[in-house]
Amino acid sequence: MIPFNRPPFLGTEFNYIKEAVNNQKICGDGEFTKKCNAWIEEKTGTAKALLTTSCTHSLEMAALLLDIKPGDEVIMPSFTFVSTADAFVLRGAKIKFVDIRPDTMNIDEKLIEQAITDKTKAIVPVHYAGVGCEMDTIMDIAKRHNLKVCEDAAQGVMSEYKGKALGAIGDYGCYSFHETKNYSMGEGGALLIKDEENAELAEIIREKGTNRSRFLRGQIDKYTWVEAGSSYLPSDMNAAYLWAQLQEADMINNNRLASWDKYYKAFEQLEQKGYVTRPVIPAECKHNAHMFYLKAENIDVRTKLISYLKENDILAVFHYVPLHSAPAGQKFGEFVGEDKYTTKESDRLLRLPMYYGLKDDEIERVIDAVNKFYKG
Ligand SMILES: *Cc1c(COP(=O)(O)O)cnc(C)c1O
């Protein structure tokens, strides 16, 4: 059976976990958390990076930092994971869903402005499959309307848009280190903060609303409760696990990209014959091979193809059910404008097995099976 995902694992994770345990400090903000934060800051150029317990929690922190209040509106695509919306719904926001572009499956930047009202507070672009949204346009819209931008870059670690790291372009950026993502700590994430002046409040929110981070740096004599907050910092054992993978980030990235390229080349003919559509990577984007998807003609063909692959011991999956069609999406949000592509294109999409260490013979088997399906 070729699984759909294998969590990234190198072996060196054990060494660092042992070190973390030997340090006798496996609670949050130990040595490995600091190393991971510094790595993200250096790699992305963001003013401040803070490891968190999940991307969902990074998004929640961003919603708190943006001071989202009941009645505020937040703009995002409907084609995304539930967490993108949940984080803002928890603060009482109303979600305004905007249609996607059929080429990248990202929010259609040209449709954002029509969704803006005097209640709009933020735009939340999602970099689907680690391929960047049209960020110049989005940042320009935000600037003109005095809105904040929070990037859901859960899938975008190591990806770039016009040479800038995804997650480090908007006011806030949210990474995921869940085991289904390119770099893993089991459950985990990071919040990227673009402006230094927002870093202190972020630290406070992450540390139960206290100024403990300043205290630990020796900047104050005792720490106290200063704001509303929660606990969003991961154990240093988890950070140690992630650290092993960040040190090999280029190797992991190149390995994934090589697999992605093999799929991409192999399906050129099926695309020319009009059977499938392959992913589109805009010229200004450098992606990270987070996933390889194909789009079948319609949902019926997709269902048959997934079943056929399963009969051949290959696990392919689909996602997402557009949020505006889910019960909570109807309760907490609304689609603005016409759903021209969100439902239609998500119905067509299937993800093929893609993970670090995917073997050539496995890739061949997947390619052969898809080709055989279309010959039949
Ligand atoms: C994975 C994912 C999340 C959630 O990440 P967690 O770390 O599991 O909380 C949010 N948004 C998108 C687009 C994702 O792919």
- Note whether 24 and 170 are same-domain residues: yes
**Nearest ligand 1 atom, CA 126:** 13
HSE-CB of 108 using CA atoms within 13 angstroms: 18
Best residue among 55, 107, 180, 184 to mutate for probing ligand 1's pocket (most ligand atoms within 8 Å of CB) is: 55
Count structural domains, the chain: 2
Q: How far is the CA of 167 from the centre of ligand 1 (A)?
A: 13
Per-residue pLDDT of the chain (376 residues; tens, 9 = 90+): 999 999 999 999 999 999 999 999 899 999 999 999 999 999 999 999 999 999 999 999 999 999 999 999 999 999 999 999 999 999 999 999 999 999 999 999 999 999 999 999 999 999 999 999 999 999 999 999 999 999 999 999 999 999 999 999 999 999 999 999 999 999 999 999 999 999 999 999 999 999 999 999 999 999 999 999 999 999 999 999 999 999 999 999 999 999 999 999 999 999 999 999 999 999 999 999 999 999 999 999 999 999 999 999 999 999 999 999 999 999 999 999 999 999 999 999 999 999 999 999 999 999 999 999 999 8
Q: How far is the CA of 82 from the centre of ligand 1 (A)?
A: 8
Compute the 3-state secondary structure of the chain and give helix, strand, coil in percent, each to the nearest 5. Answer: 40, 15, 40
Answer for the pair 291, 316: CB distance below 8 angstroms, yes or no. Answer: no
Q: How far is the CA of 154 from the centre of ligand 1 (A)?
A: 5
Residue nearest to atom 14 of ligand 1 (CA): 154
- Note whether 232 and 283 are same-domain residues: no
Domain that holds residue 301: 249-375
Instruction: Say how far apart CA 305 and CA 372 lie, in whole Å.
Output: 10
Lining residues, ligand 1, CB within 6 Å:
54-56, 80-81, 83-84, 126, 152, 154-155, 176, 178, 189
CATH classification at residue 279 = 3.90.1150.10
Please spell the DSSP secondary structure of 295-318, one letter per residue: E-SSHHHHHHHHHHHHHTTB--B-
Q: Is residue 8 part of a domain?
A: no
**Closest listed residue to residue 259, CA positions, set 157, 366, 359, 349:** 359
Choosing from 216, 246, 276, the residue where a domain stops is 246
- Note whether 169 and 109 are same-domain residues: yes
Choosing from 228, 246, 264, the residue where a domain stops is 246
Neighbours of 219 (CB within 10 A): 11
DSSP designation for 366: H
**Nearest ligand 1 atom, CA 127:** 13
Q: Is residue 20 part of a domain?
A: yes
Choosing from 246, 265, 298, the residue where a domain stops is 246
Instruction: Say how far apart CA 84 and CA 79 lie, in whole Å.
Output: 10
